[in-house]
Amino acid sequence: MAIAPPDNGTPPDPAQPRTGFDRFFEISARGSTMSREVRGGLATFFTMAYIVVLNPLILGGAVDGDGKKLSIPALAAATALVAGLMTMLMGVVGRFPMALAAGLGVNALVAYEIAPEMTWADAMGLVVIEGVIIAVLVLTGLRTAVFRSVPTQLKTAIGVGIGLFLTIIGLVDAGFVRRIPDVANTTVPVGLGINGKIVSWPMLVFVIGLLVTLVLVVRRVRGAILIGILASTVLAIIVEAVANVGPSFVDGKPNPKGWSLNVPELPRQVVDVPDLSLLGNFNVLDSWSRAGWLVPLMFVFTLLITDFFDTMGTMVAIGQEGEMLDEQGTPPRAKEILLVDSIAAAAGGAASVSSNTSYIESAAGVGEGARTGVANLVTGALFLLAMFLAPLSVVVPFEAASTALVVVGFLMMTAVRTIDWTDYEIAIPAFLTITFMPFTYSISNGIGAGIISYVVLKLAKGKARDIHPLLYGVAVLFVLYFLRGPIEAAVL
């Protein structure tokens, strides 16, 4: 749901004359305004701008089968370029407030599992193949049909689960929740801050920023999430200038009290020329001859399942947050949304930055009132600017941006009330969907657990006819997905 009313306090009058721009993006028709779209686009960018820094660190820190590394500056420029173009394409074609960028998790898979078996060009070629396959599935209508086959209440559970997933991402990114080292001799996997205490300046900045944002949300202040991010960033800059906290790693050694990723300092240099030398550095054929047919096939299958269902979950969650779903739980222009997402996957491989996919952080923009693709134009333009203004894009620390993720997680969680918890046949799959996402750090794992359990429980109750035929195939694919480790071990 939106956290603030339209700028004039009442929904726009659909009967009033509208411009062609308004009609094309359905701004008034969806009860939005230009100011809300701009605020939403800004909020989305600030919550996901970290990818311009993080993706190069993940990909640039790995070596391929030939022992070669990718240039970090070139990765940063290409990451921003593809994110900007694909986000704007989603805005124009999908007309849906969902931004795209290099997918976390997928980039780690490419960096640490796929690339070591071949060259970087070969690995990115597999990503391109995966994107093309998904595009074919969209154009044939299969991907949309699979999406529609999922029960409405299970789609709701997907949105709720992603809300909790967002929350834990925000808490972990801010350092407020941390993994307890194995040497601690405890069965508790995570804990509060450092040894159960808030003892660092960055954590305090996060707590203050979160409380400020929550107060603004409760008071229905327009731009609450964006104001919270900016206010937290200003506070972080002041704290760093006074306390000289530094990054979480100094000379390769951990600094638990440091900033998680970006150190909030005013940059010495504002403009920089982007290095686009990695564009087009991919090969779709050599991996099959170098690594054999089975290894690339399993990698493509894993990428396919992850991208296929992550986007489905993200699309539902964002549509649910913005009250843009129909009675079947489907957002407007679903086919176009899925097509752009598949194009983005291939584009990411073609630019050597790994598969690009939809970002659940877009929910921060929806929380600010974004309802159309106009917000994407703002977010995409900022990503393109980030190519040249890379020093500015890293000023906002995780501790400031993460406040938005926690608040949006709460807003998405409120939909849990619409699930019928007295009907165990849907309540149990919904529960597994909701819990698997944050606890396994994967949207796909949650969707897989929900669909498999739904099919099994319906069959156990003798209600096979209640199951959409496509769900049987999806359930089998997810079983293969979860068992891909033993399968690979048995046949390789």
Question: pLDDT for 108-152, tens place per residue?
Answer: 778 877 888 889 999 999 999 999 999 998 999 888 888 888 888
Strand partners, 290: none
E strands present in 162-243? 177-179, 190-192
E strands present in 106-199? 177-179, 190-192
Q: Give 79 or 489, the one with higher predicted confidence.
A: 79
Percent of the chain scored above 70 by pLDDT? 92
CA atoms within 13 A on the CB side of 56: 20
pLDDT at 8: 43
pLDDT at 170: 86
For the ranges 46-55, 329-338, 388-397, the lowest mean pLDDT is seen at 388-397
Residue 307 confidence (pLDDT) above 90: no
Residue 230 confidence (pLDDT) above 80: yes
Residue 2 confidence (pLDDT) above 80: no
**Residue partners of 466: CB distance under 8 A and separation at least 6:** 458
Residue 4 confidence (pLDDT) above 50: no
Give the mean pLDDT of 446-467: 94
Return the ∠ at Cα 170 (arms to 165 and 171), rounded to 5°.
Answer: 100
For the ranges 8-22, 125-139, 273-287, the lowest mean pLDDT is seen at 8-22
Give the mean pLDDT of 57-73: 85
Whether the CB-CB separation of 258 and 270 falls below 8 Å is answered with no
Report the C-alpha gap between 391 and 402 in whole angstroms.
20
Give the confidence band of 487 by pLDDT, cuts at 50, 70, 90: confident
Residue 289 confidence (pLDDT) above 80: no
Give the confidence band of 393 by pLDDT, cuts at 50, 70, 90: low
For the ranges 191-205, 221-235, 236-250, 260-274, the lowest mean pLDDT is seen at 260-274
pTM of the model: 0.74
Residue 96 vs residues 254, 342, 358, 418, 433: alpha-carbon distances, Å: 41, 15, 11, 24, 24
Give the confidence band of 299 by pLDDT, cuts at 50, 70, 90: confident
Phi and psi based region of residue 30 (left: phi greater than 0; alpha: psi -120 to 50; beta: remaining): alpha
| The two structure tokens encoding residue 72 | 């970090």
pLDDT at 150: 86
Residue 270 confidence (pLDDT) above 70: yes
Phi and psi based region of residue 248 (left: phi greater than 0; alpha: psi -120 to 50; beta: remaining): alpha
